[in-house]
Amino acid sequence: MRKGNATSADRRTDIVSAAIEVFADIGYYRATTAQVAERAAISQPYVYRFFTKESLMAEALDVSWQRIEKAFRRVIDTATPERLEAGLIEAYEEIMAAHRSEILLQMQAQTIREAPIRLVMQQGLERVRLLVSRAFEQAGIAEADVRTSDFLARGMLCNVAMALDMPNLMAKK
């Protein structure tokens, strides 16, 4: 976490980063904002200056979806149609390796029933689905919708494989 004269924006980022780690490690329901504050090296009242526990989880999830979208856009902007899907897979594998906690957080969130958290998950997955589907269509990939569903399903299987330490489930294309 940052030290010294951190701005409010910096502290918000620190809090969200800490929340991603705490929620992924402990679980949303068991984790407390006090644990997030401790991980961020700030006071719990300072966390509440910016977030409730629910809004903090929603923000953490949104950060994780934005990371995927940004990585996929970079691939879409640079890959040839023949390398598009492979490039997206490689980008996602890099995210899984570098931001494991975010993926674990998304997996957890699939079972959380609170409306704001479900909404962030629904919106994030829909944005990624549309991004991939449009890219496949523009690349001239036949049955782009079916290929998009298969691509997303394989990604979810990779998430499970990572969480369970079962790399044999992650089939390479």
Domain 53-169: which CATH class?
mainly alpha
Helix axes 144-163, 115-138, angle to 10 degrees: 130
Q: Where are the beta strands (DSSP E) in the chain?
A: none
Helix axes 100-109, 84-98, angle to 10 degrees: 100
76-131 pLDDT per residue, tens: 999 999 999 999 999 999 999 999 999 999 999 999 999 999 999 999 999 999 99
Question: Is the pLDDT score of 169 beyond 90?
Answer: no
pLDDT at 35: 97
3-59 pLDDT per residue, tens: 545 688 889 999 999 999 999 999 999 999 999 999 999 999 999 999 999 999 999
CA distance 34 to 117: 20
In the block, tokens 């890959």 appear at 79
